[in-house]
């Protein structure tokens, strides 16, 4: 029986010629990631271990991004704990204020993740690096601790769902619409324990930033990982950002999939996930009543990259955020921030009446920088719209692309860019 | 390991944001996290829960974030076992790694109501509903996971290997 892309990567890292779905393996890790919320718990667990040193100081990434710059004293204590740990173990890839960005945008940009890697991260959106043809998955803090100490992690080899991507997306349809459409189709546990493998000729019509967005939200369908094949665009991205060697794995022709779907990019419309699950999707044309919004958030590990900001700026240019709407734009990394500045995007945002923040996960998880009051609604390019996700339990989050979030900021209700004549 | 307690029953897709909202993640102290356990789905939970009580839910329990604070909060609140039709995979891993007993059993989640009194044997996966006089057999763990559980979590397991 042939293997999927994911299975091949896992087999190679377990020193095995062949693995099958359901098999328990121990795999070597290329990178172990943690952030300011999950790392303190991992450090505490590592303190209980007999192994007192990290397996490889170059293969651990600690990114302070969730409540950073410190939102309160407790957050400051957490970061201090991680900072001291990084210093004690001479961790090469420790990113603090000034260097940090939102982890899943930052690591590929820094060249720390490449095709063929096995990566675990104590953050559920670690699945993002599948866009580069890596196996990457979210774990908890104890797994992170074990990974930092041993350089290994146990996995149950996943089966896979194949998504055959065809066609070319229409204007204003992006990676976010693709993944929201898929989650709406298969549900929030539609890929539970499984790989989501994206293949097909349509992939060439998706930018790297689109692919990062799609892989990023595999977890919102319950997936263990999302993964793309490596093409010229991927190779160009890796060569630009990384000096690490990469390895390309392709699925065998006789690989077995639990299910196969065809996604025609040309048939997709801007798609919005209504409260309180990412699977509650509607296309923009299915929304028949006005959904008035109080806030629009453009950013996060899902949609805070330069493509996303360019799209939002194209819509906000020469327009004004509607009175009564708070529009919060958060470049995902310092490099994205700088690029946006050089391209004049920040000026467009500020002139439109949006605020531009330093990189942070803040509002996405209801941490800070845009918390909602009871009864308030936010259109957001983030990844979750659970009850209370962005603030009060009686607030609402609607997930959408940067194009829809920007257009909605202007109209004050959930809108497609076409409503602005674009 | 034997669990004995009263049931708190929830539905599908109980996510980690309602188990422990992110506004409390500036703490990693189990006792403090426990005081906010289930706050955004059941405000009364922390006032009603007694040591040994059992959470029973439908499918995809613990979906969302990787925060280990979620199983930590549940364990520190005194819950002896979580039974669900299915668990989200990171929560499943985290529960095993920190030594919070969980059992996957679709029939049990359908045949148990809030307030029922249960006996659950974690190793065998057997669940007895004392209130209704019914019995269920949950999914047994693979041997490798049993070893982690028997060691009392992943850290102890790794220590015992070295």
Is the peptide bond between A69 and the residue preceding it cis, with omega within 30 degrees of 0?
yes
- The pLDDT assigned to A252 comes to 98
Q: Which of B19, B22, B75, B97 to mutate to test the interface with A (most CBs of A within 10 A)?
A: B22
Partners of B142 on chain A (C-beta within 8 Å) are: 24, 156
Residue from the list B25, B64, B86 with its beta carbon closest to the beta carbon of A384: B64
Cα–Cα distance, A77 to A59 (Å, whole number): 24
Nearest by CB: B68 against A41, A156, A189 = A41
Q: Indicate yes or no: CB of B63 within 8 angstroms of CB of A188.
A: yes
Chain A residue with Cα closest to B90: A139
> Helix and strand tally (H, E) in chain B?
8, 7
CA distance A249 to A226: 14
Highest mean pLDDT among A378-382, B142-146, B147-151: A378-382
Q: Which residues of B touch A387 (CB under 8 A)?
A: 15, 17-18, 40-41
C-alpha count within 13 angstroms, C-beta hemisphere, residue B44: 3
pLDDT tier at B144 (50, 70, 90 boundaries)? confident
* Residue among B65, B71, B159 minimizing CB distance to A124: B65
Res B139: pLDDT: 83
Which one of B15, B58, B63, B100 would you mutate to disrupt binding with A, by most A Cβ within 10 Å of its Cβ?
Answer: B63
State CA A400 to chain mean position distance. Answer: 14
Other CB atoms within 10 Å distance of the CB of residue A233: 15
The pLDDT, as a whole number, for residue B143 is: 81
For residue A391, what pLDDT is reported?
98
Pick the residue from chain A with its C-alpha nearest to B89: A193
Distance, CA of A77 to CA of A36 (rounded, Å) = 10
pLDDT exceeds 90 at position B146: no
**Could you tell me the pLDDT band of residue B123, with boundaries at 50, 70 and 90?**
confident
State the pLDDT confidence band at B24, using cuts at 50, 70 and 90: very high
The neighbouring-strand residues paired with A76 are: none
Residue among A38, A78, A149 whose CB faces B68 most closely: A38
Predicted pLDDT of residue B142: 80
Distance CA A273, CA A282 (A): 6
Q: How far is CA B121 from the centre of its chain?
A: 13
CA distance, residue B23 to nearest chain A CA (Å):
5
Is the separation of the CB atoms in A176 and A401 below 8 Å? yes
A225-227 sheet: strands from edge to edge: A225-227, A195-199, A160-166, A259-264
DSSP state of A284: G
Smallest Cα distance from B159 to chain A, Å = 6
CB A379 within 8 A of CB A398: yes
Question: Which residue's structure tokens are 């309160």?
Answer: A72
Contact predicate A183/A274, CB 8 Å: no
Cα A422 to chain centroid, rounded? 28
Low-confidence ranges of chain A (pLDDT < 70): none
Predicted pLDDT at B150: 80
Cβ atoms A225, A10 nearer than 8 A: no
List CB contacts (< 8 A) between A193 and chain B: 89
Contact at CB, B98 and A142, closer than 8 angstroms: yes
Q: What are phi and psi of A316, to 5 degrees?
A: -80, -15
The Cα-based distances of B46 to B38, B49, B64 in angstroms read 8, 6, 22
Q: How confident is the model at residue B2 (pLDDT cuts 50, 70, 90)?
A: confident
Kindly state the tokens that stand for A369.
Answer: 């920088």
Helix, strand, or coil (residue A226): strand
Given pLDDT bands bounded at 50, 70 and 90, which one contains residue B6?
very high
pTM confidence score: 0.97
Contact A143 B97 (CB under 8 A): yes
Interatomic CA distance for residues A93 and A60, integer angstroms: 6
Instruction: Compute the radius of gyration of chain B from its Cα atoms.
Output: 15
Lookup: tokens for A224: 């263990």
The mean per-residue pLDDT over the stretch B107-131 comes to 94
- pLDDT at position B122 over 90: no
The answer to whether B20 and B37 have CB atoms below 8 angstroms apart is yes
Cα–Cα distance measured from residue A124 to residue A310, given in angstroms and rounded to the nearest whole number: 26
Residue B141 is predicted with a pLDDT of: 79
Tell the residue number behind the tokens 């793309």, with chain if given. Answer: A228
Give which of A35, A29, A32, A37 is closest to A12, Cα–Cα.
Answer: A29
Q: How far is B131 from chain A (nearest CA, A)?
A: 31
Size of the A and B interface in Cβ pairs below 8 Å: 136
Phi then psi dihedrals of residue A349, to 5 deg:
-60, -45
B40-52 pLDDT, tens digit each = 999 999 999 999 9
Distance to chain B for A107, nearest Cα, Å? 18
Q: For chain A, what is the radius of gyration of the CA atoms?
A: 20
Q: Which residues of A touch B63 (CB under 8 A)?
A: 188-189, 222
Residues on chain B touching A33 (C-beta within 8 angstroms): none
The residue-averaged pLDDT of B121-135 equals 93
Task: Report the distance separating Cα A65 and Cα A391, nearest Å.
Answer: 18
Cα separation of A401 and A385, whole Å?
14
Distance CA A141, CA B94 (A): 8
d(CA A104, CA A125): 7
Q: Please answer yes or no on whether B22 and A367 come within 8 Å at the CB atom.
A: yes
In chain B, the residue whose alpha carbon lies closest to the alpha carbon of A81 is B28
């Amino acid at each position: 029986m042939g293997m999927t892309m994911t299975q091949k990567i896992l087999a190679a890292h377990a020193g095995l010629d062949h693995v099958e779905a359901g098999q328990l393996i121990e795999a070597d890790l290329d990178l172990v990631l943690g952030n300011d919320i999950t790392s303190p718990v991992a450090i505490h667990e590592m303190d209980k271990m007999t192994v007192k040193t990290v397996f490889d100081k170059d293969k651990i990434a600690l990114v302070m991004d969730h409540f950073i710059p410190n939102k309160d004293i407790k957050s400051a204590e957490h970061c201090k704990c991680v900072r001291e740990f990084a210093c004690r173990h001479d961790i090469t890839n420790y990113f603090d204020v000034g260097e940090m960005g939102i982890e899943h945008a930052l690591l590929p940009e820094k060249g720390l993740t490449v095709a063929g890697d096995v990566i675990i991260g104590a953050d559920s959106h670690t699945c993002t690096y599948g866009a580069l043809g890596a196996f990457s998955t979210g774990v908890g803090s104890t797994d992170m601790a074990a990974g930092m100490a041993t350089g290994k992690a146990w996995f149950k080899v996943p089966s896979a769902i194949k998504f055959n991507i065809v066609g070319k997306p229409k204007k204003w349809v992006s990676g976010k619409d693709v993944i929201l459409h898929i989650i709406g189709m298969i549900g929030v546990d539609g890929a539970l324990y499984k790989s989501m493998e994206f293949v097909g000729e349509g992939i060439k019509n998706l930018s790297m930033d689109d692919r990062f967005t799609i892989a990023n939200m595999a977890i919102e369908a319950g997936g263990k990982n999302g993964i793309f094949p490596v093409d010229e665009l991927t190779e160009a991205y890796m060569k630009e950002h990384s000096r690490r060697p990469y390895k390309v794995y392709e699925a065998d022709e006789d690989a077995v999939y639990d299910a196969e779907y065809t996604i025609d990019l040309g048939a997709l419309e801007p798609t919005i996930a209504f409260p309180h699950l990412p699977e509650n999707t509607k296309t923009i044309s299915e929304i028949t009543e006005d959904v008035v919004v109080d806030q629009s958030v453009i950013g996060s590990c899902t949609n805070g990259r330069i493509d996303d900001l360019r799209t939002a700026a194209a819509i906000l240019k020469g327009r004004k955020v509607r009175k009564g709407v708070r529009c919060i734009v958060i470049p995902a990394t310092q490099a994205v921030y700088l690029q946006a500045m050089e391209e004049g995007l920040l000026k467009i945002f500020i002139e439109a009446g949006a605020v531009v923040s330093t990189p942070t996960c803040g509002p996405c998880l209801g941490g800070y920088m845009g918390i909602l009051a009871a009864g308030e609604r936010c259109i957001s390019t983030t990844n979750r719209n659970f009850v209370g996700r962005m603030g009060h339990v009686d607030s609402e989050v609607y997930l959408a692309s940067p194009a829809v979030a920007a257009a909605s900021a202007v109209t004050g209700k959930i809108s497609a860019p076409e409503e602005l004549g674009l | 390991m034997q669990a004995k307690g009263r049931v708190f029953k929830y539905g599908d897709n109980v996510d980690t944001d309602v188990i422990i909202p992110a506004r409390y993640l500036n703490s990693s102290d189990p006792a403090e996290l426990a005081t906010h356990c289930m706050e955004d789905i059941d405000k009364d939970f922390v006032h009603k829960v007694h040591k040994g009580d059992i959470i029973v839910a439908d499918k995809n329990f613990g979906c969302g974030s990787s925060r280990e604070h979620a199983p930590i909060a549940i364990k520190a609140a005194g819950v002896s076992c979580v039974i669900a039709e299915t668990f989200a995979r990171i929560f499943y891993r985290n529960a095993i790694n920190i030594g919070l007993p969980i059992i996957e059993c679709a029939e049990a989640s359908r045949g148990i109501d809030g307030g029922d009194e249960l006996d659950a044997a974690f190793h065998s996966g057997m669940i007895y509903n004392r209130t209704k006089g019914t019995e269920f057999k949950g999914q047994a763990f693979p041997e490798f996971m049993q070893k982690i559980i028997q060691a009392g979590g992943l850290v102890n397991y790794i220590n015992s290997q070295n």
